[in-house]
């Protein structure tokens, strides 16, 4: 049966749409839709063309995979084509892949001992580097696998690409292949700068890497924080390489090329799956974006036996993670009011499965962001959910904007209490001026007050707090300590047992620490770390209440802004009243001696960040030690950080420190510094 007119039209429209996105991706470096959506369009077209082969045309996008070479860069023909990689998404598909490999190689018993080289699948741009007598002769993009573009001038600006190999024994002609990528920290920093300068930002690190490589002016590329890991070899002449893929990569590393430190040799499909899971857990802590892992049969003899199908090797496969970006539509934009009165736009979305969960709300951060991205009700948008972070709207797909959309404006009045919404000069955040009169702020303030790192009152959930606030039973946190068994047990859906447990939890929370108490008050900019520093420095509440701004800035980690926030808070009579009421209700802690800080200690002027598990010392103890000797301890790494003190299981902070070339110390080297 021939294709209907409707099918023919669908095929045409798919082709047009794919061509449009190819152009945006390869020529404009300005992608509009997530990969997952592009893949769906392509698969739909491929499916239809398979069903109706008579409709396949030579110019269909399915007939040429990869880049249109640009008119500006020289094209290069790869002497050996750069293959593509097949994908699997589910465990079952991976088992089928392994099964095929095992059968073809005539393995028995499930081929549990078949060795694979496993590594993360970097989300960057594939390139080829050609070394002649150990000297970098030419770098080229992968392009469509057969021809790419000459980007030698740009590759030379990337620090991790050696211009000359080190050591000896390399083949006279050696082509290596790998992925150029932009580490996340560099990507964020780059976009922040571009945004401030009103320049174009990148949608994601992969796009940033690909776009940077194709610059005509290498000075521009040199400014981009690019990195490269090599993952295979291409042309090899006049020289020998080992017979295992993993050994080849080791050898490349010894010649000065950078390889991924996460790579491992695993055995059997179970080894692959365990690796997939381990890398999946580590994904957010890595310094760079990955979109899956790659398994390659380690033995080159076996690779030769397996050969290729079409353009992909039969001996390798990419095992993809769930997509972190998807498309959906904005049903509405609402404004939420937080604990500090910050009025934040939130997009209500058509529910979409992204990053492993169904998402129906995404933050738009603040009104400037919303306007910069020009998000309107009715728009199709890219939502991103990476790791445990709050889902966010990345960008609008303007080509899919309906004719009727509604623009969003900052409300003049608070959606909760109707007070005026104000925005301070130069501040991105708009705030409700209602203070604790605003029930949203009161609820959020109370939720913060009872949270685990604050007063830690288990069982006083968000719903219950909201109800009590709504009824004006909770005017301020001290009302929590007035709750009785009788009053609680009367409430709907609250049994006697849970009422009793809650009263017990409230009672137990009264014995707290000064730092928890300070943190629980919810003073703006006073997070856990600052609260701890204040408590350690002053030792008692009266000392803090009477401290001037000049006194406060002497506290590690407290600058003029934070000092002012604290003073502002304590200058409000009603805040002092609440503090008194809480103590009257029995909230108490043990005072400590004020801290003696070395004015001119061995660590004066040095800023530390602490991460991981230290041997025989808690992080708080390490912090106190550093502070006593004049050093400062902060929570996040920046270029200004002097040292990262890292223990066991250091995660993303370690990666970031390496990224920013911040010196990393273990506890022993810290102690050596003190001597
Ligand atoms: O990290 C990657 N993106 C990656 C890509 C990798 N780790 N290994 C790869 N191996 C290959 C073969 C097996 C063909 C040598 C690849 C790619 N190919 C690849 N990158 C782009 C297309 C194919």
| pLDDT, tens only, 78-113 | 999 999 999 999 999 999 999 999 999 999 888 999
> Per DSSP, what are the bridge partners of residue 356?
none
* Domain boundaries, position 55: 5-63
Q: Is 415 part of a structural domain of the chain?
A: no
121 CA closest ligand 1 atom index: 1
**The pTM of the whole model exceeds 0.85:** no
pLDDT in tens, 622-662: 887 887 888 888 888 888 999 999 998 887 888 889 888 89
Q: If you measure from the C-alpha of residue 249 to the centroid of ligand 1, how many angstroms do you get, rounded to a whole number? A: 13
| Structural contact between residues 182 and 224, judged by C-beta atoms closer than 8 angstroms | yes
Q: What is the mean pLDDT of the chain?
A: 91
Give CA–CA dist 72/217, Å, rounded: 11
- The number of beta carbons lying within 10 Å of the beta carbon of residue 650 is 19
What is the structure's pLDDT at 624? 78
What is the structure's pLDDT at 340? 87
Q: Is 150 exposed, middle or buried (0-12, 13-18, 19+ CB in 10 A)?
A: middle
Q: If you measure from the C-alpha of residue 57 to the centroid of ligand 1, how many angstroms do you get, rounded to a whole number? A: 29
**Ligand 1 pocket at CB < 6 A:** 83-85, 119, 121-122, 126, 142, 179, 231-232, 294, 296, 313, 316
Give CA–CA dist 272/168, Å, rounded: 34
Q: If you measure from the C-alpha of residue 423 to the centroid of ligand 1, how many angstroms do you get, rounded to a whole number? A: 49
Q: Are residues 353 and 396 in the same domain?
A: yes
pLDDT in tens, 104-148: 999 988 899 999 999 999 999 999 999 999 999 999 999 989 999
- The number of beta carbons lying within 10 Å of the beta carbon of residue 575 is 16
Q: Is 410 part of a structural domain of the chain?
A: no
Q: Is 369 exposed, middle or buried (0-12, 13-18, 19+ CB in 10 A)?
A: middle
Q: Is 421 part of a structural domain of the chain?
A: no
Q: Are residues 141 and 286 in the same domain?
A: yes
**Positive or negative CA dihedral for 282, 286, 292, 293?**
negative
Q: Which of 542, 570, 595 is the last residue of a domain?
A: 595
Residue with the smallest CA separation from ligand 1 atom 13 is 316
pLDDT in tens, 488-512: 988 888 888 999 999 999 999 999 9
What is the structure's pLDDT at 425? 84
Give CA–CA dist 205/188, Å, rounded: 9
Q: Are residues 55 and 92 in the same domain?
A: no
The pLDDT of 460-480, averaged and rounded, is: 94
pLDDT in tens, 380-429: 999 999 877 899 999 999 989 999 888 999 999 999 999 999 998 888 89
Q: Are residues 637 and 569 in the same domain?
A: no
| Structural contact between residues 61 and 49, judged by C-beta atoms closer than 8 angstroms | no
What is the structure's pLDDT at 64? 66
Question: Residue 56's domain is classified under what CATH number?
Answer: 1.10.287.610
Q: If you measure from the C-alpha of residue 85 to the centroid of ligand 1, how many angstroms do you get, rounded to a whole number? A: 6
The pLDDT of 190-203, averaged and rounded, is: 87
Q: Are residues 311 and 368 in the same domain?
A: no
Q: Which of 320, 339, 371 is the last residue of a domain?
A: 320
Q: Are residues 591 and 613 in the same domain?
A: no
Give CA–CA dist 104/347, Å, rounded: 51
Residues 6+ apart with CB under 8 A from 330: 347, 348, 349, 375, 376, 377, 378, 379, 380, 381, 393
- Say which residue the tokens 């392509």 belong to: 42
Residue with the smallest CA separation from ligand 1 atom 20 is 126
Residue 66 has pLDDT above 70, yes or no: no
Probe target for ligand 1 pocket from 125, 180, 232, 246, with the most ligand atoms within 8 Å of CB: 232
SS3 category, 556? coil
> Per DSSP, what are the bridge partners of residue 119?
294
Give CA–CA dist 499/18, Å, rounded: 60
Q: Are residues 313 and 178 in the same domain?
A: yes
Q: Is 388 part of a structural domain of the chain?
A: yes
What is the structure's pLDDT at 65? 53
Minimum mean pLDDT range among 110-119, 215-224, 225-234, 584-593: 215-224
What is the structure's pLDDT at 70? 53
| Structural contact between residues 330 and 379, judged by C-beta atoms closer than 8 angstroms | yes
Residues 6+ apart with CB under 8 A from 566: 523, 526, 534, 544, 547, 552, 558
Q: Which of 263, 295, 320 is the last residue of a domain?
A: 320
Q: Is 407 part of a structural domain of the chain?
A: no
177 CA closest ligand 1 atom index: 15
Question: Residue 502's domain is classified under what CATH number?
Answer: 1.10.150.20
Q: Is 208 part of a structural domain of the chain?
A: yes
Give CA–CA dist 375/365, Å, rounded: 12
- Name the band, by pLDDT with cuts 50, 70 and 90, for residue 1: low
State the catalytic residues.
121
Give CA–CA dist 232/228, Å, rounded: 12
The pLDDT of 460-465, averaged and rounded, is: 94
Residue 68 has pLDDT above 60, yes or no: no
Probe target for ligand 1 pocket from 126, 264, 286, 300, with the most ligand atoms within 8 Å of CB: 126
Percent of the chain with pLDDT over 90: 69
Q: Are residues 252 and 337 in the same domain?
A: no
Q: Are residues 115 and 21 in the same domain?
A: no
83 CA closest ligand 1 atom index: 14
Q: If you measure from the C-alpha of residue 179 to the centroid of ligand 1, how many angstroms do you get, rounded to a whole number? A: 8
Q: Are residues 587 and 624 in the same domain?
A: no
Residue 598 has pLDDT above 80, yes or no: no
Residue 237 has pLDDT above 90, yes or no: yes
**Positive or negative CA dihedral for 256, 261, 25, 219?**
negative
Tokens (6 digits) for 229: 């890991």
Q: Are residues 16 and 158 in the same domain?
A: no
| Structural contact between residues 334 and 402, judged by C-beta atoms closer than 8 angstroms | no
Q: If you measure from the C-alpha of residue 231 to the centroid of ligand 1, how many angstroms do you get, rounded to a whole number? A: 7
**Positive or negative CA dihedral for 264, 270, 276, 279?**
negative
- Name the band, by pLDDT with cuts 50, 70 and 90, for residue 454: very high
Q: Is 656 part of a structural domain of the chain?
A: yes
Q: How many folded domains does the chain comprise?
A: 5
Q: Are residues 177 and 45 in the same domain?
A: no
Q: If you measure from the C-alpha of residue 381 to the centroid of ligand 1, how many angstroms do you get, rounded to a whole number? A: 29
- Name the band, by pLDDT with cuts 50, 70 and 90, for residue 25: confident
Q: Are strands 430-432 and 607-611 parallel, antiparallel or unpaired?
A: unpaired
Residue with the smallest CA separation from ligand 1 atom 16 is 85
Probe target for ligand 1 pocket from 66, 85, 308, with the most ligand atoms within 8 Å of CB: 85
Question: Residue 666's domain is classified under what CATH number?
Answer: 3.40.50.10190
What is the structure's pLDDT at 470? 93
Q: If you measure from the C-alpha of residue 291 to the centroid of ligand 1, how many angstroms do you get, rounded to a whole number? A: 12
What is the structure's pLDDT at 215? 86
Q: Is 474 part of a structural domain of the chain?
A: yes
Probe target for ligand 1 pocket from 67, 81, 294, with the most ligand atoms within 8 Å of CB: 294
């Amino acid at each position: 049966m021939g294709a209907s007119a409707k099918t023919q039209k669908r095929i045409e429209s798919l082709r047009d749409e794919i061509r449009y996105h190819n152009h945006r991706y390869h020529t404009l470096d300005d992608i509009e839709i997530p990969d997952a959506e592009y893949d769906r369009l392509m698969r739909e077209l491929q499916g239809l063309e398979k069903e109706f082969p008579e409709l396949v045309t030579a110019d269909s996008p399915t007939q040429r995979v990869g880049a249109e070479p640009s008119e500006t860069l020289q094209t290069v023909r790869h002497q050996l084509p750069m293959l593509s990689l097949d994908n699997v998404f589910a465990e079952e598909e991976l088992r089928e892949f392994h099964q095929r490999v095992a059968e073809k190689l005539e393995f028995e018993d499930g081929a549990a001992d078949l060795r694979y080289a496993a590594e993360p699948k970097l989300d960057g741009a594939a390139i080829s580097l050609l070394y002649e007598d150990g000297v970098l002769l030419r770098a080229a993009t992968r392009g469509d696998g057969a021809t790419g573009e000459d980007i030698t001038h740009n590759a030379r600006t990337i620090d991790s690409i050696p211009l000359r190999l080190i050591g000896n024994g390399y083949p006279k002609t050696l082509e290596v292949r790998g992925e150029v990528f932009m580490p996340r920290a560099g990507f964020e920093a780059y976009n922040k700068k571009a945004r401030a300068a009103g320049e174009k930002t990148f949608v994601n690190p992969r796009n940033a890497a690909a776009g940077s490589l194709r610059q005509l002016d290498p000075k521009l590329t040199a400014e981009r924080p690019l990195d490269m890991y090599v993952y295979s070899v291409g042309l090899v002449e006049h020289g020998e390489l080992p017979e295992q893929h993993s050994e080849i990569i080791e050898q490349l590393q010894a010649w000065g090329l950078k390889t991924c430190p996460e790579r491992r040799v695993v055995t059997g499909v179970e080894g692959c799956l365990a690796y997939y899971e381990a890398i999946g857990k580590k994904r957010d802590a890595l310094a760079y974006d990955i979109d899956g892992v790659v398994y390659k049969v380690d033995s080159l003899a076996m690779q030769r036996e397996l050969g290729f199908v079409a353009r992909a090797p039969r001996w390798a496969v990419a095992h993809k993670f769930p997509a972190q970006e998807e498309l959906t539509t904005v049903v509405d934009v609402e404004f939420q009011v937080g604990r500090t009165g910050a009025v934040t736009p939130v997009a209500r979305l058509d529910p979409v499965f992204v990053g492993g969960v169904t998402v129906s709300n995404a933050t738009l951060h603040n009104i400037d962001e919303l306007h910069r991205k020009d998000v309107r009700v009715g728009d199709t948008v890219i939502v991103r959910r990476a790791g445990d972070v709050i889902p966010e709207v990345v960008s609008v797909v303007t080509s899919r904007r309906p004719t009727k959309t509604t623009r969003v404006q900052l409300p003049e009045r608070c959606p909760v209490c109707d007070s005026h919404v104000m925005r301070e000069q130069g501040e991105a955040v708009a705030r409700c001026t209602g203070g604790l009169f605003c029930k949203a702020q009161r609820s959020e303030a109370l939720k913060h007050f009872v949270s685990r790192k604050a007063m830690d009152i288990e069982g006083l959930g968000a719903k219950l707090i909201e109800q009590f606030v709504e009824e004006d039973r909770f005017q301020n946190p001290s009302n929590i300590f007035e709750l009785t068994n009788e009053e609680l047990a009367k409430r709907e859906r609250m049994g006697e047992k849970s009422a009793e447990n809650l009263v017990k939890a409230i009672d137990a929370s009264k014995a707290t620490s000064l730092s928890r108490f300070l943190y629980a008050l919810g003073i703006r900019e006073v997070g856990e770390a600052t609260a701890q520093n204040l408590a350690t420095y002053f030792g008692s509440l009266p000392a803090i209440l009477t401290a001037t701004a000049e006194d406060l800035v002497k506290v590690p980690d407290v600058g003029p802004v934070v000092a002012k926030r604290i003073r502002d808070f304590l200058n409000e009579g009603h805040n002092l009243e609440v503090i008194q009421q809480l103590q009257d209700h029995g909230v108490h802690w043990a005072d400590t001696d004020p801290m003696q800080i070395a004015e001119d200690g061995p660590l004066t002027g040095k800023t530390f960040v602490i991460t991981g598990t230290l041997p025989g010392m808690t992080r708080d103890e390490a912090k106190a030690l550093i502070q006593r000797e004049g050093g400062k301890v902060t929570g996040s790494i920046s270029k200004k950080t002097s040292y990262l003190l890292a223990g066991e299981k250091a995660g993303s902070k370690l990666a970031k420190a390496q990224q920013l070339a911040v010196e990393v110390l273990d506890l022993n080297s810290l102690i050596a510094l003190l001597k």
